[in-house]
Amino acid sequence: MQVFNTFFKIVKKQLPVTMIYVGIFLVLCVMMGSSQRDGAGSYTASSCTLVIVDHDKSEASGKLIDYLSGIHDVKYEEYTDEQIQDYLYYHKIDYVLYIEKDYGTTGELTNVKRPGTSVGIYVDNQIAMYEANMRALLTAGYSMEDAYALTLKALDSDGLVELSVGSAEKPTIYYYFSYVPYVIIMIMFFIITPVIVAFNKKDVNDRLNVSPITLRSKNMQIFLGAVIISIFVWILFIAMACLMGYSDFKDMLYKVALNSLGFTITGTAMATIVGNFGVSGDTKNIIANIAGLALCFLGGVFVPVSMFSKGMLAVAKFMPTYWYINTNDKIFEGGSMDDIAAGLGIELLFALAFFMVAAVVSKRMRTARSS
Amino acid sequence: MENTVVKIENLVKRYKETLALDHFNLEIKEGEIFGLLGPNGSGKTTTMNCILALLTYDKGSVEVFGGEMNPDNIEAKRNIGVVMQNVAVYDELTVYENIDYFCGLYVKDKATRKKYVDEALDFVDLQDFKKFYPKKLSGGLLRRLNIACGIAHKPKLIFLDEPTVAVDPQSRNKILEGIVELNRRGATIIYTSHYMEEVEQICTRIAIMDKGKNIALGTKDELKKMIKNTETIIIEAIDISSEDKKNIQALSHVYEVHTEGDKLTIKCSGGKHNLIRVLDYINERDIPCGRVYSELPTLNDVFLEITGKELRDKEA
């Protein structure tokens, strides 16, 4: 088992850089998970402090004030311009709306926003939506009361915001399993590829070929090493996930485990292809980074596929990462084994295809050398 | 009678349109240090790779230890050691680990292997560097490691493919001494090189190769006897007339006289006291000259006379 033992001696040399990737991944995972939960992933409409100065005092301006009062904290006190500037500066108010005279007919409004925030744009959007609805309904012949009632219904705040990143709150562990393909690809490129390259180096390989070790035995020992490394990496990531939040995914543990195992096998196969081309050193690092990032961006690891155009989606379907993410989403949406079987199968087909490509490349290289 | 270790018959190897080995024949006996000498591209490494079944060939046969050599001839492989032209070690393993790894491909028993690895380290004088990684070694030390990896398992037949290329003179001498020592311990050596001095120094029998053919075969003395030239006399800083040149040419056993700048080269075939005769003539005619010396033929002369070209490109 000399080849097998040496496999792990070479792997040992790659461990420091691999551990750096694992460490960075864990930190990013926690950070991304918490930011997604605190931010876009758990959106709630927030109210601002508004000052409304009504110069029109018409029924139309009254309805607008009513509408905004339903959403925001509206102050009706009379303020001097100086006071308004001070309050904006000290963040006591976010938005000042001036309803101009004849607003009912001209629709003219002016405003002053607290600088450096997006709150003003948020209020602008609400007013624009309200106005567009009201104008359309009034033009259609509705009375002011009916138009207002229908507008309120249409602008129900729950329906205003559609989050393309998924409206349901997801646990940190979801993001962990979403980003894990990237780190698995990188680890495999940094562990498996150098070993394959080392064993395929022409002169070293010639030494092996003149030794009593048969080609079959050598390949079996390398394969066995790769299998053990893959299983180890897979178990490592599942164990880390359990440490991070076992309770968040205990019901779906075997599903996420199967999904990540499928992808680990695919990652091993990809690294084997690169290794068989004899790529090492800086070239290997460049390929690892390009392949890792491309697969993750195009496969929906870093950018949700829901944001992809049709063309991009079509391309994504040729990436193993897409099928991993697709399956992962289904698992966290409560999908059954039947729901995820297809995705798992496609991942394994990718792995099989990659292994076959690696075998063909290896055979071609060998034949080229011996003829 | 000595056993035949390697027997090559009618071997033909083509690389597309290039004929690398042209009906090549060779027989190497047990206990020899056999030199394959030839210029770069003459087919030495191709011959070696065909013997080792690393290359397929178009025609002919190769036998090692009496059996047909092919990738599945495990028994033959057990007794073979190879020192590649390029350093063939793992950068990721230390000196000790590399030797242990390659030795372990042949020797399963750990205790025996440890003994063999230590002996190999002693043999190439790398004990002080056993924990070093190859990248930390100088060119000469790397070459020694390369040799240790090829011989640690005590093979009966050792192939050394230009093991001294890009090696400093001190390391080169150590390597050559080591090869002779391996042979003394019972190994048959097949040594390829384009350095004729090395081959002359250590090889018991030599095959001179050119364009994939075996153009001369024998001991160094036998090879030198194959050619006309037996002695070359060189006289430096000489001012000689064409008449004197003719007269020297007429001296007995002299067959060629030519000048190159102010250097006169006189080639002799057979005979004794050729140098004295030439010096007597110069003395008689009071011809002014500088250093005078005589050289015995080298393998380069053998190669030059057979092929009409130099064995080795003139080094800058």
> Chain A contact for B143, CB < 8 A?
no
> Chain B contact for A212, CB < 8 A?
yes
pLDDT at A167: 45
ipTM value, please give it. 0.80
Residues in chain B: 316
Q: Which chain A residue shows the shortest CA-CA distance from B20?
A: A371
CB pairs under 8 A between A and B: 72
pLDDT at A36: 58
Tell if the CB–CB gap between B80 and A13 is shorter than 8 Å.
no
- pLDDT tens column, B153-192: 999 999 998 888 877 888 788 888 889 998 999 999 999 8
A145-162: b (≥16 Cβ within 10 Å) or e: eebbebbbebbeeeeeee
CA dihedral in degrees (A174, A179, A183, A184; nearest 10)? 70
> Chain B contact for A236, CB < 8 A?
no
Tell if the CB–CB gap between A203 and B91 is shorter than 8 Å.
no
- pLDDT tens column, A306-317: 888 888 888 889
Q: What is the pTM of this model?
A: 0.72
Q: What is the CATH class of A49-160?
A: alpha beta
Distance CA A213, CA A202 (A): 16
- B4-224 has which CATH code? 3.40.50.300
In chain B, residues with a C-beta closer than 8 Å to the C-beta of A366 are none
- A201 CA to chain B: closest CA distance, Å? 8
A294, two tokens: 């491309």
Tell if the CB–CB gap between A203 and B56 is shorter than 8 Å.
no
Tell if the CB–CB gap between B88 and A201 is shorter than 8 Å.
yes
Chain B, 87 to 106: residues with Cβ < 8 Å from chain A are: 87-93, 97, 101-102, 104-106
B196: amino acid identity, one letter: M
**Rg of the Cα atoms in chain B:** 23
Tell me what the mean pLDDT of segment B4-30 comes to: 92
pLDDT at A99: 87
Indicate if the pLDDT at residue B6 is higher than 90: yes
Q: Which chain A residue shows the shortest CA-CA distance from B51?
A: A210
In chain A, residues with a C-beta closer than 8 Å to the C-beta of B80 are 210
CB B240 within 8 A of CB B209: no
Tell me what the mean pLDDT of segment A250-255 comes to: 88
Nearest to B82 among A198, A201, A210 (CB): A210
Instruction: Assign A278 a pLDDT band (cuts: 50, 70, 90).
Output: confident
- pLDDT tens column, A334-358: 888 888 899 999 999 999 999 999 9
- pLDDT tens column, A39-54: 544 445 567 888 888 8
- Maximum distance among all Cα pairs of chain B, rounded to whole angstroms: 77
pLDDT at A356: 93
Distance CA B150, CA B144 (A): 10
Nearest to A203 among B80, B86, B97 (CB): B86
pLDDT at B89: 93
* Beta bridge pairs of residue B59: B12
Distance CA B37, CA B22 (A): 16
* Beta bridge pairs of residue B217: B207
B217, two tokens: 């075969």
Among B54, B85, B106, B154, the strongest candidate for a mutation testing the A interface, having the largest count of A CBs within 10 A, is B54
Among A18, A200, A211, the strongest candidate for a mutation testing the B interface, having the largest count of B CBs within 10 A, is A211
H/E/C letters for each residue in B95-136? HHHHHHHHHHCCCCCHHHHHHHHHHHHHHCCCHHHCCCCHHH
Q: Which chain B residue shows the shortest CA-CA distance from A204?
A: B88
Architecture in CATH of B231-296: 2-Layer Sandwich (3.30)
Tell if the CB–CB gap between B86 and A215 is shorter than 8 Å.
no
Look at A167 and A153; give whichever has higher pLDDT: A153
- pLDDT tens column, B92-119: 899 999 999 999 999 999 999 999 999 9
> Chain B contact for A368, CB < 8 A?
no
CA distances from B251 to B248, B259, B274 (A): 5, 17, 9
**Where do the domains of chain B lie?**
4-224, 231-296
In chain B, residues with a C-beta closer than 8 Å to the C-beta of A221 are none
In chain B, residues with a C-beta closer than 8 Å to the C-beta of A207 are 82, 84, 88, 102, 149-150
Instruction: Assign A168 a pLDDT band (cuts: 50, 70, 90).
Output: low
Tell if the CB–CB gap between A207 and B86 is shorter than 8 Å.
no
pLDDT at A41: 46
> Chain A contact for B239, CB < 8 A?
no
pLDDT at B150: 93
pLDDT at B76: 92
Closest CA to A298 of A268, A273, A323: A323
SS3 state at A316: helix
Distance CA A358, CA A265 (A): 13
Distance CA A282, CA A236 (A): 27
Nearest to A212 among B78, B86, B149 (CB): B78
Indicate if the pLDDT at residue A265 is higher than 90: yes
**Where do the domains of chain A lie?**
2-39+167-370, 49-160
Instruction: Assign B218 a pLDDT band (cuts: 50, 70, 90).
Output: very high
Indicate if the pLDDT at residue B221 is higher than 90: no
> Chain A contact for B180, CB < 8 A?
no
Tell if the CB–CB gap between A203 and B80 is shorter than 8 Å.
no
Tell if the CB–CB gap between A210 and B52 is shorter than 8 Å.
yes
Tell me what the mean pLDDT of segment A186-201 comes to: 88
